Amino acid sequence: MRKRFLWRGMGVVLVLLFAAGCGYHFKGKANNLPKDIKSISIPIFKNETTETNIENLFTNALIAQFVRSKEFKITDVDKADAVIYGVLKRYSNDTLTYSGGGKVSQYRVRVVAEVTLVRAKSKEVIWRAKHLEEFEDYDASTNTIENEANKEKAFQSLAKFMAEIIHDRMLENF
């Protein structure tokens, strides 16, 4: 009985040692960007969609994500080592589901973005996501004001989620 417990304990230790030695790391903890990049700037995203003002949501969400991570100093373009440029390329707001009475019960808002990290001085591209596409679903309402509020919440959630994806992929160099 005691030997079995000892063997199990040794097995757990070996698995942990193997995991530590194989380069495994937790999501969002790696920074594979060049070491000379200590500060970044994130100008307002360019909005090529028909939806007004979403560029501010997406820009602010990305800034907030980088502030939370504390990996870089966020600064003005003229003081930054690198700049993150974002372009919101496409947007759609499609019916997702109908209720039993044929009324819309859910919508899906989808955004396609292009995000590029460049060195501030040389404009050398360090990282790029040409086609980052994500979506968020929200409940429909017969009340126009409530429906727009639900859509706004969906955009906020989508912007936050995309900011996390951009941050993690950029730092992990995927």
Q: In terms of C-beta distances under 8 Å and separation of at least 24 residues, what long-range contacts does 72-77 make, across chains too?
A: 72/37, 72/38, 72/39, 72/40, 73/38, 73/39, 73/40, 74/39, 74/40, 74/41, 74/42, 75/39, 75/40, 75/41, 76/41, 77/41, 77/43, 77/120
Cα-flanking dihedrals φ and ψ of residue 90, to 5°? -145, 155
Q: Spelled out in words, what is the top-level CATH class assigned to the domain 29-172? A: alpha beta
Run of H or E residues at 85: strand 82-98
User: Tell me: the pLDDT tens digits for 130-162?
Assistant: 999 999 999 999 999 999 999 999 999 999 999
State residue 73's pLDDT score: 95
Cα-flanking dihedrals φ and ψ of residue 58, to 5°? -70, -40
User: Tell me: the pLDDT tens digits for 6-38?
Assistant: 445 444 444 444 444 444 444 445 677 889 999
